[in-house]
Structure 1
Amino acid sequence: MLTRFDALNVETALRGAFFDAPFPPADDRAAWDLLATTVGTQETAAWIAAAERAAGEPVPPLPATLYLEYRRIGRREGYQVPYRLRRRRLAELAVGECLEGQGRFLDPILDLAWAVCEESAWAFPAHQGDLDDPDHPILDLGAAMTALALAELDHILGAQLDPALGKRIRREVDRRCLTPYLTRHDNQWMYSVPGHMVNNWCGVCNGGVVGSAIYLEQDPARLAEIVARAARSLDDYLGSFDVDGGSTEGPSIWAYGFGYCTILADLLERRTDGKVSLFDEPVIRETAQFPLRTLLYRGTYVNFSDALREGGQTAAHLAYLSRRLDIPDLMRLARASDASDVGRQELPWALRRLFWTVADEPAGEFAPARHDWFRGMAWMIARRDPADPDALVLAAKGGHNAENHNQNDVGSLLVDLGGEPLVAELGRPRFTSATFGAGRYEILANSSLGHSVPIPNGRAQPAGEAYHAEVVEHAALPEEDRLVLELRDAYPPEADLASLCRTVALHRDSPRGWVEILDRARFAGGPGRLETQLVTFADVHVTPGAVLLSGETARLRVEYPEAIAVEVLEDRGVELSAGPMDVRRVRFAAPEGVEAAIRLRLVPA
């Protein structure tokens, strides 16, 4: 329990320690010149070129009317794109200046940092809605990340910038973040309460706010109060993970929240000489392995809920965890992770890209296990042969419909072949004002009608923790991985279910393996209609007894019994995070009856 770190114990640790900062200030030219040599000429030149481009651009404007777009038309991008561009350019300029050390980027850095301090709100429009109330600043993801970025900018370059900037940074971080953090109790992201479990916000906001305080707060007693409050909050955050370390938010959102939690854990150890350590918690080691256990293929991950399928993992984060927790496979995964973009979004990750380096050892590529199982959230990932890039992968979930970043997807599954999602999770929809509002489950990606689940009597799954699956059986065998779920309680009373049992299995008894889906329904009040749906981005060709799903290179044949009727629904331009996508939903319908069954056999073609 992190609550053992009360304010008195933390203050004692703070007063007896010296802050061993993770990066040297830019005027330590010996350290930065050595780093430039270590990262190499190409990497150094790329950062300096990025700084040159950023220096030649004006500060992106952020007018009030742009902020109000979210409230008026539900659009996030209008404000958030230039907002994030400011911070990305600040990171490029700061790193470029530190690596080059000639002073030519200092004025553009001053202009950008001052402009960020001048912003009326650091909170995203989606989290505030109205224009800023200076007497009640909203402490959200954007505010927390901005606070840490400015604090680390002040640490590395404050001595070379106008002294007024350092004073301004301290004033704004305290007004917008530290004082609200200590004095207000309206931040719902801080603690779990009945009916609400904390999520990635808890990791990001604590990481940003408390991380900035470690740099900027000079009063040990006040800093101790901040850290003690974070310890209580992070207890709830770590408690949100599955007993096996999983997160229902998915690997990409895990990387965001746990990434900032890792930054804070490192800063706390450095500020207290290791006396305050989050890494002593057993769940840390378990959850650090979450991306290892949810990998589908190189760079792609299980994307249940609002998670992204591709990317999302920061190589520097994985490399740090590998070293700190002695998990060699995380370094192997870090080498395979795309480091070209993620690390350059905000200054904290840009710096850690340089200092939390990816090593060439241990040798070899990471290969996941044949089978992974998360007991608490009922996720099963089964792989025909992890060493074969063309092999089948099946992922299926139970759970309930009030999970973090919830989609109504109890019983959903995905099937990959050759690195392609032939039975797909739509994943994260485009975020608008409807995404987290009353219309959330009218969005196809969030509705059970946008997932590969049964549809009894035409009914969709409702939202709420009461709508859940019961794990009947889970088996991991050499020849077969199997998950059996009772889904009756995932549907409303109008579905008229006495039972709805779903069996999903990956079989290894053939050279390329095959996937079985068996849905069996028993209706309570008389004959009913059972349909089962598969969601895909692939081309669909229906023939008697089989449906062919054709991706770019891989093909999957879905075999079905003669009595089953097949219908294909086309959804054009579905708004997903990656842009508009055409989606096809293949529905298999059994003859009406008091009992009904649909058995599908998915075979590589």
Structure 2
Amino acid sequence: MTTSMLDSALSSERLREHLPEPGAWRPVPDVTDRAFWTAVHPATTAAMVDRAERLAGVGPWPALPASLWLDFARTGNRIRYQDPYFARRRRLAAAVLAACLTDDERWHDEVADGAWLVCEESSWCLPAHDESHGARNTHALPDVDNPTLDLFAAETGALLAWTYAVLRPKVEERGLGQRIVDEVRRRILVPQRTVDSWIWFGRRGHVGNWNPWINSNVLVCSLLLDSTREEIVTTVERAVFGLDVFVGGYPADGACDEGQLYWWRAGASLSECLEVLRSASGGVLDAFDLPLVREIGRYLHRVHIAGDWYVNVADGSAKLDADGASAHVLYRFGRRVGDAEMVAHARWLRGDGPLAESTTGVGRALLALADSDWASEPSADPPLVAQAWWPDTELLTARETGGSARGLFLSVKGGHNAEAHNHNDVGTFLVALDGHPVLVDAGVADYTRQHFSPDRYEIWSLRSAYHNVPLVDGYEQAPGKEHRAADVRCELDDTGARFDLDLAGAYPAEAGLLHWHRSVRLDRAGGQIVLSDRWAFSRVPGDVRSHLLASGAPVVLGAGALEVPTPGRTLRLSYDGAALDVEVERIDLDDRRLRGAWGDHLWRIALVVRRPTADGGYRLEIGAGRSCLANSAGHRA
């Protein structure tokens, strides 16, 4: 089997020559190496043991009865099964780390309890992903003889593989060692080597984040648990085939069109796959010098606003998810591609906290603890780059002052309405002030069946009517790759950044739009953002308006101005009060994922053209306003 983009470094011939024998790759010492484990930084040890104590102290291990599995088929709700499913795995991961750090029999028993429960589960995949009765048949209990290898089955396999690798004497003492090996082989390794039909595998062409996400775990399972070198080579060859499809389908600019949340399981997981192969081969199988890989790595810090706020597109969250991010993975990625800004961003993410995040997966935590360079890396500030432009993805980020969160931050996107985890949002823009998002994208609520159904765009936060784009004579943007931006141009220099595009193609033909030219400019000298919209219809429209989603409660100051509060200053919006009316609507948030980002409310501002004409336009000036002593709802200083 040969590849294209990864072939020079990871060809079948090179894999066969340089992959290790079974059991040879052991990047983390096991529990018997007490010199290593007792030398872990005391604050890290204390944090990890404390987390294990808190999780073990909640009571009995969560139950996963059959009725809970069937609940998804009956209601479309995903979280009622997923919450206890993930709680089991978090508790087991925390116990594994506590057992390694303390070598306390109490934690070894806790690990045995958790591993036994997981091995007894009929399926390791989620009900929403089950294909054991055929493609996405979710209306029955899983077929235990036909396991589905989804994202979380793969993660579960890696969790148990690492458990076996670092605690082998203790799990074998309790009679669990062979059970763990057998279950991981049966549910993960054999299916990976024998089933080609899964979409994520790559046989059908372009694949998304499922491929590197699953393969990063499969590679670990194989190198830690497979019993023959031929099994390892076959597993790795098949993984590399899919990774090559993934990389080959990535835009040349390296942007993740799913946003920073999914970057952690797209670009970051790709780096983990490459790192495992590099480490297992003693540095010989190294694909980090591929230019595209470097660009993929550079995405995250260039969409960073400030603090834990990031530009969010598609279903990505506006806030960093501590359960999905790993500072060490980013650090190691930055070191491998030689990017100092990535390294600085990673070190800033860690701050004064522990060396590893036990919430992000036991493997990520173990590898961080075993990296002495990471332990000694000096503290750093985030790069806060002045501006970045991704021409293939049509995404811009720019800030008033490079290296500082102070002042205005702007992001604008073009693209099309069939991107990964798409929202209908061509031409939307985001504005932050002093590091706090003010004109925002809501993101996505906790997933349900509807999010992956033909009714997806009936969900309010995915519709263009709830993004910072026009509503054109009552018509919203339409889904589909054909509904896209045109005439996209971006200009960057020291004085500012300008993004121009035509939005007309994002709307259905019935809207009657000939063009809608949008220009958004960050003027550094003037300390403002200027938005200019110009349109032409084939008829005189009855209603023309543009929406702005705000994180704080807008205050209309009179004809021509309004302000949105932030924890520091207000964001002031100035417009032609004679031409535009303003309407403000409060959006109550009842979803925990949305509330976790924004609090209880968002607000939708409508700039309504008073006397619509077939040809027209307006201008909006955005800048810093007065100091605001009280924090706005939805923001946390």
TM-score interval, smaller chain: over 0.9
1:430 is displaced (CA, Å) by: 2.1
Q: Which amino acid aligns with 2:341?
A: D
Residue 262 of structure 2 corresponds to: 253
Question: CA–CA distance in 2 between the matches of 1:82 and 1:405?
Answer: 25
How is 1:334-349 mapped onto 2 (pairs within 5 angstroms)?
Answer: 334-337=346-349, 343-349=358-364
1:2 aligns with 2:6: yes
Answer with 90-99 or 164-173: which moved more: 164-173
Question: CA–CA distance in 1 between the matches of 2:251 and 2:509?
Answer: 29
1:538 maps to which of 549, 552, 568: 552
Question: CA–CA distance in 2 between the matches of 1:179 and 1:20?
Answer: 20
Residue 72 of structure 1 corresponds to: 74
Secondary structure, aligned partner of 1:248: coil
Residue 46 of structure 1 corresponds to: 47
1:186 aligns with 2:192: no
1:573 is displaced (CA, Å) by: 2.2
1:385 maps to which of 401, 404, 410: 401
Secondary structure, aligned partner of 2:264: helix
1:323 is displaced (CA, Å) by: 2.7
**Deviations for 1:193-213, whole angstroms, at most 9, x for unmatched residues?**
57xx42211111111122211
How is 1:511-590 mapped onto 2 (pairs within 5 angstroms)?
Answer: 513-527=527-541, 529-542=543-556, 543-561=558-576, 562-573=578-589, 575=591, 577-579=593-595, 581-590=600-609
1:120 aligns with 2:122: yes
Secondary structure, aligned partner of 2:449: coil
1:601 aligns with 2:601: no
Question: CA–CA distance in 2 between the matches of 1:138 and 1:109?
Answer: 25
Instruction: Give the CA RMSD over aligned residues.
Output: 2.2
Q: Using a 3 Å threshold, how does the CA distance of structure 1 residues 363 and 147 change in structure 2: closer, same or farther?
A: closer
1:155 maps to which of 147, 162, 165: 165
Question: In 1, are the aligned partners of 2:534 and 2:616 still within 8 Å (CA)?
Answer: yes
Q: Using a 3 Å threshold, how does the CA distance of structure 1 residues 252 and 168 change in structure 2: closer, same or farther?
A: same
Q: Using a 3 Å threshold, how does the CA distance of structure 1 residues 507 and 308 change in structure 2: closer, same or farther?
A: same
Question: CA–CA distance in 2 between the matches of 1:298 and 1:573?
Answer: 23
How is 1:187-336 mapped onto 2 (pairs within 5 angstroms)?
Answer: 187-191=198-202, 193=204, 197-312=206-321, 313-336=325-348
Question: In 2, are the aligned partners of 1:318 and 1:330 still within 8 Å (CA)?
Answer: yes
Structure 1: stretches of 5+ with no match in the other structure: none
Q: Using a 3 Å threshold, how does the CA distance of structure 1 residues 15 and 577 change in structure 2: closer, same or farther?
A: closer
**Deviations for 1:188-234, whole angstroms, at most 9, x for unmatched residues?**
1122857xx42211111111122211111122122212111111111
Residue 461 of structure 1 corresponds to: 477
Question: CA–CA distance in 1 between the matches of 2:156 and 2:293?
Answer: 25
Q: TM-score w.r.t. structure 2 length?
A: 0.89
How is 1:381-530 mapped onto 2 (pairs within 5 angstroms)?
Answer: 381-510=397-526, 513-527=527-541, 529-530=543-544
**Deviations for 1:275-309, whole angstroms, at most 9, x for unmatched residues?**
32332322111111111111101222111111111
**Deviations for 1:34-66, whole angstroms, at most 9, x for unmatched residues?**
2x2xx2x23212323333444554221111111
Question: CA–CA distance in 2 between the matches of 1:242 and 1:431?
Answer: 26
Q: Which amino acid aligns with 1:33?
A: T
Q: Using a 3 Å threshold, how does the CA distance of structure 1 residues 491 and 110 change in structure 2: closer, same or farther?
A: same
1:354 aligns with 2:355: no
**Deviations for 1:371-393, whole angstroms, at most 9, x for unmatched residues?**
11011100000100133333100
Question: CA–CA distance in 2 between the matches of 1:353 and 1:273?
Answer: 18
Question: CA–CA distance in 2 between the matches of 1:401 and 1:210?
Answer: 34
1:140 aligns with 2:156: no
Q: Which amino acid aligns with 2:604?
A: R
Question: Where do 4+ consecutive residues of structure 1 move more than 6 Å?
Answer: none
Question: CA–CA distance in 1 between the matches of 2:400 and 2:455?
Answer: 39
Question: In 2, are the aligned partners of 1:141 and 1:205 still within 8 Å (CA)?
Answer: yes
**Deviations for 1:344-384, whole angstroms, at most 9, x for unmatched residues?**
24211232342346456456413322111011100000100
1:402 is displaced (CA, Å) by: 0.7
Q: Using a 3 Å threshold, how does the CA distance of structure 1 residues 193 and 592 change in structure 2: closer, same or farther?
A: farther
Q: Using a 3 Å threshold, how does the CA distance of structure 1 residues 554 and 358 change in structure 2: closer, same or farther?
A: farther
Secondary structure, aligned partner of 2:398: strand
1:61 maps to which of 51, 63, 77: 63
Question: CA–CA distance in 2 between the matches of 1:428 and 1:80?
Answer: 17
Structure 2: stretches of 5+ with no match in the other structure: 131-137, 626-637
Question: CA–CA distance in 1 between the matches of 2:237 and 2:534?
Answer: 52
Percent identity between matched residues is: 32
Answer with 546-555 or 10-19: which moved more: 10-19
Question: In 1, are the aligned partners of 2:409 and 2:432 still within 8 Å (CA)?
Answer: yes
